[in-house]
Amino acid sequence: MVLAAGRGERMRPLTDRMPKPLLPVGGQPLVAYQLQILAAAGCRDIVMNCAWQAEALQAELGDGSRWGVCIRYSPEPWPALETGGGVCHALPLLGPDPFLLVNGDVYCEWSPGELALASGMLAQLLLVPNPPHHPAGDFGLAGGLVRPDAPERYTYSGIALLDPALFAGCRPGRFPLAPLLVAAARQGKVGGVLHSGTWLDVGTPERLYALQARLGEA
């Protein structure tokens, strides 16, 4: 599942008329880089949620065949359902098996093969070293397990492998994903792997311009 429903408030005014995943980077939409990575790894079936500028998103990406994937859309009301609510809403499209969850507004040179769920686990998170704009990190990591109170903390990349059972008991509506991950981590059911390669949360115009420059776009 690719998350693409938010407005991108910190990216305004660039996102006033365009959904953030469609912002141009290196001659193609930002989200296209994730679609290419997923396609190269054999992940062809993509569920993408949409809310803000949903029509523009669907018109530009279509069925995903341009990138070698098949996109099915999970429309949400506005305001969008947040990360947890958006995934919960899309579960009928995702099916009963574990699935990759990817933020549509991150640039990351990763491989889906980095993530795997051990027996009995509900999630595995791709973590990255804390960037300057997020020095406190999100989750602790010790012995391959995500631990909320571990001293060494890292930043959640926006990429994870989740078991649908993580959402057992959740009611439809707006809610974040993080509390579910924290609760499962306290039960020892969330793993983590540290990614040392390129990663950028494209959350502000300045970071967008930096990525454009990195990829050779003026």
Task: Please write the tens of the pLDDT for every residue from 135-157.
Answer: 999 999 999 999 988 888 999 99
**The pLDDT of residue 54 is above 80:** yes
Residue 11's pLDDT is 85
**Bridge partners (DSSP) listed for residue 154:** 139
> Model-level pTM?
0.94
Residue ranges of domains in the chain: 2-214
Read off the amino acid at residue 85.
G
Is the pLDDT assigned to residue 217 strictly greater than 80?
A: no
**Which of 67-76, 124-133, 201-210 has the least mean pLDDT?**
201-210
Q: What percent of the chain has pLDDT over 90?
A: 78
How many C-beta atoms surround the C-beta of residue 203 within 10 A? 18
C-beta atoms surrounding 153 within 10 Å: 17
Count CB-CB contacts under 10 A for residue 45: 14
Q: What is the pLDDT of residues 11-45, one digit of tens each?
A: 888 888 889 999 989 889 999 999 999 999 999 99
Question: What tokens appear for 118 in the block?
Answer: 């051990």
3-state secondary structure of 73: strand
Q: How far is the C-alpha of 27 from the C-alpha of 45, rounded, in Å?
A: 24
- pLDDT for 121 equals 98
- 201 - beta bridge partners? 106
Whether residue 138 contacts residue 146, with contact meaning beta carbons closer than 8 Å, is answered with no
- Can you name the CATH fold of 2-214? Spore Coat Polysaccharide Biosynthesis Protein SpsA; Chain A (3.90.550)
Is the bond preceding residue 13 a cis peptide, omega within 30 degrees? yes
Q: What is the DSSP string of 186-204?
A: HTT-EEEEE--S-EEE--S
pLDDT above 70 coverage of the chain, percent:
99
Angstrom distance (rounded) from CA 72 to CA 46 = 6
Q: Is 183 exposed, middle or buried (0-12, 13-18, 19+ CB in 10 A)?
A: middle
Q: Indicate whether 218 pLDDT > 60.
A: no
Pairing of strands 24-25, 28-29: antiparallel
- Whether the per-residue pLDDT at 183 is higher than 80: the answer is yes
